[in-house]
């Protein structure tokens, strides 16, 4: 208060507030008012994005079981389609569904090439016809320490790769999302290197748990969940599950994934769920299951260790994170 | 006139500071807090804390430049509201998110730099809130002013707490950071002498 007191100590007639200051006070008060009103309005007028269960996409949502093999309940359909990290559309998880509602997923092709004997471009309808997707109930653990249990429809990526016959030099698989800033407004913002790129070691890609998903809850994928075709690997952090894939290449060198470009010290190539490898921002030791209040301990390899640990024998997973 | 302004300001202040809380409670009862309500509560209370903290810091410069004396009276209630939202922010983390499981909490986040910055900022706000009464002003004398300078440290720590959590370079924490630094700069004696002289000349005082 010090300086202020001296300033206002003696008031001479010539110190009486000039008009423009008087008005600036008014402006200050008006500004405070506007701030208050703005806070109220901006919050109150925000459209409610929660669709009641059983309407829209989730009407007739179907799954063959109500839990996964460990007894964890399926995440409600509404939560699965209203809480998405898909930065191509929006940085706000609740806005993705809205921002993606006019996304065109037909016609759509996936070009499979690189070090293969039979490079081919598949139409999405052909993929679905040919590889007849089946239901897989998987846990999905986001690197941001939340998780879901989702009944996907999908087929093993290995089936598709066998069709194109990888050459012996091919060691990795590289995936690419559609690049179309007109349809994906997030790609106009340079915060990540677009298009989104992900990669797997060939043996991880061929592994039976690795699927290309074309649907969830018994229906074709909604745009916000990566329509028309996305990758799902339940033992890796969610960001490995690249969405809206247009290109799959067999390559010799380890691909550099988009998040590894953005923050190499935080996001590794493997991104295996591992409660023992810390992250500077999020707890990797525990997680919040969407729709539930209490935190749960995060399981090594997201609880798929019995199946996939063999892929990493002899590797120090704290080093190859 | 002065009295009307004072009352109006008070009403605006309380309405402005309390409405986000009422809205939060409303949304909570209506299921309007996204699929991840605990995180939404955490984000909102954090945002309000930082906003109120920044507005609190702006009061003295506003007074210095405009002579608008009423601004000074806003510092204490706004600072206390900032502390209230910071408390909710912390309580949500410890209580709702971690169910008071301190062992798990410690294992998960004790060593994270953003938590250390955030918790330090909270401790400062706690000390300032406790000593915000007239009795403490009297008891601490000159030291009261020294202690309350720590609000700038709290502001900087709060910005760091935000900055260290973002996944990609969104602008909000940087904007807050710049505002807090400018407000701090305006209080540096050498700077404030120059700027105040300029304003006085402009005002023809």
C-beta atoms of B205 and A15 within 8 A: yes
Instruction: Please tell me the least confidently modeled range out of A145-154, B8-17, B167-176.
Output: B167-176
Return the domain boundaries, chain B: 2-203
pLDDT of residue A54: 56
Where is average pLDDT lowest: A291-295, B92-96, B141-145, B158-162? Answer: A291-295
Q: Give the domain range for residue A134.
A: 69-312
Burial of A216 (0-12, 13-18, 19+ CB in 10 A): buried
Pick from A257-271, A285-299, B45-59, B156-170 the range whose average pLDDT is largest: B45-59
Q: State pLDDT tens for residues A79-105.
A: 999 999 999 999 999 999 999 999 999
Give the domain CATH number at A276: 3.90.420.10
Mean residue pLDDT of chain A comes to: 86
pLDDT band, very low/low/confident/very high, at A251 (cuts 50, 70, 90): very high
Residue A229 and residue A107: Cα distance in Å, rounded? 12
**Nearest-Cα residue of chain B relative to residue A84:** B35
Q: Is B36 on the interface with A (CB under 8 A)?
A: yes
d(CA A65, CA A8) in angstroms, rounded, equals 74
Nearest residue of chain A to residue B12 (CA atoms): A33
- Token duo for residue A165: 């016959």
Whether A280 and B112 lie within 8 Å, measured CB to CB: yes
Q: Which residue has the higher pLDDT, A194 or A263?
A: A194
SS3 content of chain A, % helix, strand, coil (to 5): 30, 25, 45
Which of B35, B64, B69 minimises the CB distance to A290? B35
pLDDT, tens only, A164-193 = 999 999 999 999 999 999 999 999 998 899
* Chain B residues within 8 A of A262 when measuring between CB atoms: 168
Q: Tell which wins on pLDDT, A321 or A196.
A: A196
A288: nearest CB among B36, B64, B164: B36
Q: What is the pLDDT of residues A139-154, one digit of tens each?
A: 999 999 999 999 999 9
- For residue A10, what pLDDT is reported? 46
Residue of B nearest to A278 (CA): B108
Nearest Cα to Cα of residue B162 among B72, B47, B74: B47
More confident residue, B94 or B3: B94
Percent of chain A clearing pLDDT 70 (strictly above): 83
B143-163 pLDDT, tens digit each: 999 999 999 999 999 999 999
Q: Decide if A31 touches B, using CB distance below 8 A.
A: no
Tell me if chain A has a CB within 8 Å of the CB of B190.
no
Instruction: Compute the average pLDDT of residues A23-34.
Output: 49
Nearest to A144 by CA among A290, A14, A41, A281: A281
Residue B8 and residue A29: Cβ atoms within 8 Å?
A: yes
Residues of A in contact with B60 (CB under 8 A): 1, 4
Q: How far B201 CA sits from the closest chain A CA (Å)?
A: 11
Q: Is the pLDDT of residue B199 over 80?
A: no
Percentage of chain A modeled with pLDDT above 90: 69
- Cα distances (angstroms) measured from residue B69 to each of A1, B33, B60: 11, 39, 9
What does the pLDDT look like over B37-50, one tens digit per residue? 999 999 999 999 99
Q: What's the pLDDT score for residue A282?
A: 81
pLDDT at residue A146 in the model: 95
Is the pLDDT confidence value at A131 over 90? Answer: yes
Whether A193 and chain B come into contact, CB under 8 Å, resolves to no
Give the Cβ contact number of residue A65 at 10 Å.
10
Does the structure show a pLDDT above 80 at A301? yes
Number of domains in chain A: 1
Instruction: Determine the average pLDDT of the residues in B171-175.
Output: 90
User: B103 in contact with A at a CB cutoff of 8 Å?
Assistant: no
Distance from B67 to chain A by nearest Cα, in Å? 8
Mean pLDDT of A57-82: 93
What is the band of B203 on the pLDDT scale with cuts at 50, 70, 90?
A: low
Per-residue pLDDT, averaged over A287-300, amounts to: 90
pLDDT of residue A297 exceeding 60, the answer is yes
């Amino acid at each position: 208060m010090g300086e202020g007191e001296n300033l206002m100590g003696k008031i001479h007639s010539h110190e009486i507030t000039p008009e423009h200051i008087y008005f600036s006070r008014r402006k200050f008060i008006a500004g405070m008012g506007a701030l208050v009103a703005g806070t109220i309005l901006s919050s109150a007028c925000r459209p409610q994005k929660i669709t009641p269960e059983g309407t829209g996409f989730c009407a007739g949502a179907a799954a063959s079981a109500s839990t996964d093999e460990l007894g964890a309940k399926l995440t409600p359909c509404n939560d699965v389609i209203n809480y998405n990290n898909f930065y191509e559309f929006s940085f706000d998880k609740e806005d993705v569904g809205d921002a993606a509602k006019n996304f065109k997923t037909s016609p759509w092709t996936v070009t499979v090439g690189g070090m293969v004997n039979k490079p081919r471009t598949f139409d999405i309808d052909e993929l679905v016809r040919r590889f007849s997707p089946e239901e897989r109930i998987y846990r999905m653990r986001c690197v941001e320490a939340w998780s879901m249990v989702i009944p996907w429809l999908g087929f093993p990526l290995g089936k598709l790769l066998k069709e194109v016959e990888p050459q012996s030099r091919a060691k990795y698989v590289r995936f690419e999302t559609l690049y179309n800033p007109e349809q994906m407004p997030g790609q106009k913002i340079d915060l990540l290197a677009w298009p989104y790129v992900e990669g797997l070691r060939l043996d991880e890609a061929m592994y039976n748990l690795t699927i290309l998903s074309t649907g969830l809850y018994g229906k074709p994928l909604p745009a916000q969940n990566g329509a028309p075709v996305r990758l799902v690997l339940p033992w890796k952090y969610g960001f490995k599950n690249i969405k809206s894939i247009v290109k799959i290449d067999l390559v010799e060198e380890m691909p550099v994934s988009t998040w590894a470009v953005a923050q190499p010290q935080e996001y590794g190539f493997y991104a295996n769920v591992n409660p023992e490898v810390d992250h500077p921002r999020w707890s990797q030791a525990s997680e919040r299951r969407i729709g539930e209040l209490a935190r749960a301990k995060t399981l090594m390899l997201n609880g798929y260790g019995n199946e996939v640990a063999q892929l990493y024998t002899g590797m120090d997973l704290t080093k190859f994170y | 006139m002065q009295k009307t302004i004072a009352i109006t300001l008070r009403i605006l202040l309380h309405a402005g500071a309390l409405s986000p809380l009422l809205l939060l409670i409303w949304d909570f009862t209506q299921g309007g807090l996204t699929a991840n309500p605990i995180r939404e509560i955490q984000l909102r209370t954090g945002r309000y804390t930082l906003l109120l903290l920044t507005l609190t810091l702006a009061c003295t410069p506003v007074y210095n430049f405009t002579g608008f004396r009423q601004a000074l009276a806003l510092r204490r209630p706004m600072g206390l509201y900032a502390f209230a939202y910071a408390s909710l922010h912390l309580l949500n983390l410890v209580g709702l998110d971690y169910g008071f499981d301190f062992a798990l909490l410690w294992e998960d986040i004790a060593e994270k730099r953003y938590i250390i910055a955030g918790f330090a900022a909270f401790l400062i706000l706690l000390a300032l809130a406790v000593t915000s009464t007239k009795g403490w002003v009297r008891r601490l004398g000159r030291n009261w002013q020294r202690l309350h300078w720590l609000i700038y440290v709290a502001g900087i720590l709060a910005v760091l707490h935000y900055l260290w959590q973002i996944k990609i370079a969104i602008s909000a924490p940087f904007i807050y950071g710049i505002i807090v630094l400018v407000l701090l700069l305006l209080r540096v004696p050498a700077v404030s002498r120059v700027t105040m002289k300029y304003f006085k000349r402009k005002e023809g005082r």
